[in-house]
Chain A
Amino acid sequence: MAQVSSIADEQTSTPVSSSKSITLRISRYNPKHDESSQFMEFSVPYEKWTTVLEAILEVKKHFDHSVAVRYSCRQATCGSCGMMINGKPRLACFTKISELNSNVITVEPMNNFPIIRDLAVKFERLFDSHHKIKPYLIRDDSELESDEREFLQSPKEVEQYIQFANCIKCGLCNSACPTMATDSSFVGPQALAQAYRYVADSRDKGKDTRLKIIDESHGIWRCHFAGSCSQVCPKGVDPAMGIQLLRGYLLGFRS
């Protein structure tokens, strides 16, 4: 299936001004009728600011509109365009071609996620795990009465969890995690980091409930602190830190 196409050879309405180009290798796979994935290669011009997502969209526009890729915001906010780029999980919209220092860019679907087609993967398990840890404030008086005000917090209390509230559910951490690579039932770094986010929130009263949920054989104890999740997080969430701090509650180091 491998082929090399070039925008310069195509009849296109888009002016291409760049003299630089890279070879973009895109993994193609449709579980419905393909036995294995194959790579298609395209020669794509780029500028200093061109992102991998833009290069993929160039391919869709000029060569093969059937390439399946999920994207939306193009600014690392929606968490839709996670994929393996040159072997590491990254957001395609947040990764510039120029920063990869390679003439060949290989894009593949994220590991540890079932493939829908080509670069698009299923997020059901990630969302199920996220939902499982009750990602919302738990307290008896969560409904405000008319004469009440919002729950106040000091800046110090906010700092305890705000970093973990940056999670965009892109799934890169789960894709990089070595435990997720072999254990389908592991709750995963994304959900565990979010469990910490709510446990550390001074407004929340659901600590015991959440700790009970993650204190199981495929829960927090399957994390071995490899730290890969934190290295690939595009929002600085640092799930490895959250998981270890969360484990501190279970081990009695924190209260």
Chain B
Amino acid sequence: MTSDEHKEGIRGMANPSRYGIERVAYLLMRLSGLGLLAYFVAHIYETSNILRGQVGWDEFLELTQTTEGHIFLTVVIGMCVFHTVNGVRVMLGHGGVGVGKPTRPDYPYDPASQNYRHKIGIYSAIVLAAAAMMYGLAVMFGE
């Protein structure tokens, strides 16, 4: 017991196994957000190489023309698509759209906010991200 507060901490927050697909989406949203932030920083560094002129720019760009570079960009595509599609779902939910209407609950109390619309949104985000990644792989490795 490390803390008086007995908080679950990041390990508990990042555990997707107990609360269904919504918690998986929550974790993927965090991971893809952090990944895109890291990519954004790297992208600024990458494009700043233009200051080294045409040769410097071409040299740095060659890094992405390797197998590892292609896989990295594929992961970025997946993160970008998932974060966008799931982000739209979450933003709509945050505005109260598609979360159901208050009513007298009946046992076994299935929560209306965890309804099929949001589940479809989550699965759509995952499927679209996977499809975009496959397309990206086909373009980058299909040369």
Interface residues of A (CB under 8 A from B): 29, 31, 34-37, 87-88, 109, 111-115, 121, 159-164, 166, 176, 178-182, 184, 200, 224-228, 230-238, 240-242, 244-245, 247-248, 251, 253-254
Contacts and interface: CB of A to CB of B under 8 A. Distances in A.
Interface of B: 1, 4-10, 12-13, 18-20, 22-23, 26, 29, 90, 93-97, 99-100, 102-107, 109, 111-114, 118
Nearest to B12: A181
Contacts of A36: 1
B13 A182 contact: yes
B31 to A, nearest CB: 13
Given A159-B103, A225-B90, A121 B6 contact: yes
Contacts of A178: 12-13, 23, 26
A240 B19 CA distance: 13
B94 A240 contact: no
Contacts of B7: 111-112, 180-182, 184
A227 B95 contact: no
B112 A231 contact: no
A230 B95 CA distance: 17
Give the secondary structure class of B's interface: loop
Given A162-B104, A230-B111, A112 B1 contact: no
A114 B95 contact: no
Contact of A233 (B1, B9, B111): B111
A220 to B, nearest CB: 9
Nearest to B21: A227
A226 B26 contact: yes
Contacts of A233: 109, 111
B93 to A, nearest CB: 5
A112 B5 contact: yes
